[in-house]
Structure 1
Amino acid sequence: MRTESSGGEDLEVLVRRWLDEAGIHDPVLRQCYTACVRRLHTCDEGRAGWWGLRAAPAALRPYTAALIAHGWTADAHSDTGPVEERLRRLDEYHRASLAALKSGSTDPVLHALAHTFRTFDLPSSLLQRGFDAMRSEIGRPQPATYEDWRRWANGICGTPTVVLMLVLHSGTVGSWEPLVRELGELFQMTDVLCDLADDLTEGRLWLPAEDFDRFGVRVPDFLARRWTPATAALIAFEADRVQHRLPELVRALEPSPAGSWARAMSRHCTLLVDLVRAADADLLHHSVRPPVSALVEVWQSEWRAAVPLPDTKGPACPLPPPRHPAR
């Protein structure tokens, strides 16, 4: 069965082009990377994965897809069910991921991940930090303060954002890493606001306890999905915090290798936060997912920048080479 991308193109044709651009010719690797792209395309639900993937230069899209697909798969192992079961599943996937880095894997996502790490000389410590952050959130109590929430969000999404930038910009993140991590942090906070309904189903609270106290929101009422004026004020306050930090962060990252991505991610987060505000009481019952038309508008300028100019053979922006030739 053929699968079409959001723009109507045949997905298999697109992926073949990307693999050719990346110089990945091994049939097994091509199948593995194709599986990663397919997973992003079918599971994104309005998040930035699929949309951001299309903003990367074509030669880097397979690697980017492997990193994002691995992160989502790890998250799926740790996201639902009893604490003990979630820990067991995540630890098993952690061990399988580390083993894949050494000798490959029969799992397509893990095999593609291992090839990506080898191609770009990524240290396994980055993988370890990501799993440590995910493990620490399982069964974690509600953050007491805003700073606690920030540290958690930075740990969950900061490292994956740095890894993506290392691949997209060939290790040139350097002194920009704290700001790149902060970009991931704000995206994670936005994701929390969008997924409040799902987290309530699992009995999870990620918004700071001090803010519940600030606005007089009772935890039992919130867990019971009761929408009150105090709840509305709490959500507006947290949405404001994200939106007020974004412009300054984007300006700070403008001269960095991540400048264009920061602009796109800011637009993406702003779109989501606006939908959070508009959801009102429905926010506690249904996750926020933006319409495709709005996502296209957010990302289309980045897509255009990644397309080769008509009179050149290369991408519109200089393409950083992999550390090792693709096989």
Structure 2
Amino acid sequence: MSPTVEDSISLPAPVLAAYSYCETVTGSEARNFAYGIRLLPVAERRAMSALYAFSRRVDDIGDGTLAPEVKADRLGATRDILDRIRDGKVDEDDTDPVAVALADAARRFPIPLGGLDELIDGVLMDVKGVTYETWDDLKLYCRCVAGAIGRLSLGIFGPAPGAPQTEKAAEYADTLGLALQLTNILRDVREDAGNGRTYLPADDLAKFGCSDGFDGPHPPAGSDFAGLVHFEVRRARALFAEGYRLLPMLDRRSGACVAAMAGIYRRLLDRIERDPLAVLRGRVSLPGHEKAYVAVRGLSGFDARQIGRQAGRRRA
């Protein structure tokens, strides 16, 4: 059973301060994510912020400028913190606010913390410079760094009244995570190239003449960059369509949260599809008022109902 608002209000002051810290991190570092979780009840929103703050710490280690061996050591230390949380060795007096908040969230919700081990494994793939020959190879990475977050979130989200909780929910959450991550990869293709990373599968790059990579505002000479982008957009749309089957399994507020976050990324994907070269000129993003509009539609249930009907038609 999910904790009540009264449970949340009666939290000890150090735990409330820890959650407040995590909410600040989430609000400043994850605008798309923050728009979605605003739609959740207080206890669930705080738990999601704790989950994000821990994940952000892992990502920041991977994205930093430290030497690979130092990054690996810090990721190992972060995994040690996760082990302490699992073993019940983190209490309100701990000096790490993210650990305090995540430990409290894990006591209150059935969060499968192993998903955070998967996230660390995925970031280690970045540290080691792993490249991806095929979509199946890239899927493994995406499942670690994004699909796992979807599955972790299921431990916090409430089920729809009468909805059976099956393994399908985890599968759909995982697939939706893949859709969001592939959208991120398309959006950040030039930025990642500047950092020496290429995530798109090598066989896709070769198919569209883009194997030389992306080091400026123009695609490789003689390439079909627009064709590559449209190919990956179609793949992402298929993942969204499959992942949206999760929505009818969630309660109204949780479904609204997922619909808002996914809706923001779908609109981002629309923009990329309309102007593929935009991702080489700079980061494609949505203005705040458009994100707020998507969030309101999610809370009203409009997007969730519409998406549910679309998923149903695809199943038929």
Residue 54 of structure 2 corresponds to 70
CA displacement at 1:156 relative to structure 2: 1.4
**In the alignment, which of 109, 122, 125 is matched to residue 114 of structure 2?**
125
Unaligned runs of 5+ in 1: 1-17, 306-327
Scaled by the length of structure 1, what TM-score is found?
0.77
Distance 1:113 1:89 in 2: 18
**In the alignment, which of 246, 249, 254 is matched to residue 240 of structure 2?**
246
Change (3 A) 1:169 1:25: same
Change (3 A) 1:282 1:253: closer
Residue 224 of structure 2 corresponds to 230
Work out whether residues 133 and 156 of structure 1, in 8 Å CA contact, stay in contact via their aligned partners in 2.
yes
CA displacement at 1:138 relative to structure 2: 2.4
Residue 9 of structure 2 corresponds to 23
Residue 188 of structure 2 corresponds to 195
CA displacement at 1:116 relative to structure 2: 0.8
Residue 134 of structure 1 corresponds to 123
**What does the per-residue CA deviation read over 1:161-196, in whole Å, with 9 as the maximum and x for residues that have no partner?**
111111122797532211111111111111111222
Change (3 A) 1:83 1:173: farther
**What does the per-residue CA deviation read over 1:7-48, in whole Å, with 9 as the maximum and x for residues that have no partner?**
xxxxxxxxxxx976723431101111001111111112x43x
Change (3 A) 1:68 1:241: same
Letter in 2 for 1:302: G
Letter in 1 for 2:130: P
Q: Which moved more, 1:293-302 or 1:281-290?
A: 281-290
Change (3 A) 1:173 1:165: farther
Letter in 2 for 1:89: R
Change (3 A) 1:301 1:117: same
Residue 114 of structure 1 corresponds to 103
Distance 1:19 1:97 in 2: 26
Identity %: 22
Work out whether residues 79 and 86 of structure 1, in 8 Å CA contact, stay in contact via their aligned partners in 2.
no
Distance 1:151 1:98 in 2: 23
Letter in 2 for 1:287: R
Alignment RMSD (CA, Å) = 2.6
Work out whether residues 162 and 181 of structure 1, in 8 Å CA contact, stay in contact via their aligned partners in 2.
yes
Distance 1:21 1:99 in 2: 24
CA displacement at 1:137 relative to structure 2: 3.4
Residue 259 of structure 2 corresponds to 263
Distance 2:54 2:10 in 1: 19
Distance 1:150 1:58 in 2: 33
**In the alignment, which of 32, 36, 56 is matched to residue 40 of structure 2?**
56
Distance 1:40 1:136 in 2: 24
Distance 2:111 2:258 in 1: 22
**In the alignment, which of 150, 155, 171 is matched to residue 166 of structure 1?**
155
**In the alignment, which of 1, 17, 20 is matched to residue 34 of structure 1?**
20
**What does the per-residue CA deviation read over 1:206-253, in whole Å, with 9 as the maximum and x for residues that have no partner?**
00111111111132x424553255222212221222124323432x33
Distance 2:116 2:35 in 1: 23
CA displacement at 1:132 relative to structure 2: 2.3
**In the alignment, which of 59, 74, 83 is matched to residue 98 of structure 1?**
83
The correspondence of residues 303-318 of structure 1 with structure 2, limited to 5 A, is 303=299
2:230 aligned with 1:273, yes or no? no
Letter in 1 for 2:218: R
Q: Which moved more, 1:258-267 or 1:193-202?
A: 258-267
CA displacement at 1:281 relative to structure 2: 3.3
Scaled by the length of structure 2, what TM-score is found?
0.80
Distance 1:83 1:77 in 2: 10
SS of residue in 1 equivalent to 2:190: helix
Letter in 1 for 2:101: A
Q: Which moved more, 1:262-271 or 1:141-150?
A: 262-271
Distance 1:196 1:19 in 2: 42
Residue 85 of structure 1 corresponds to 70
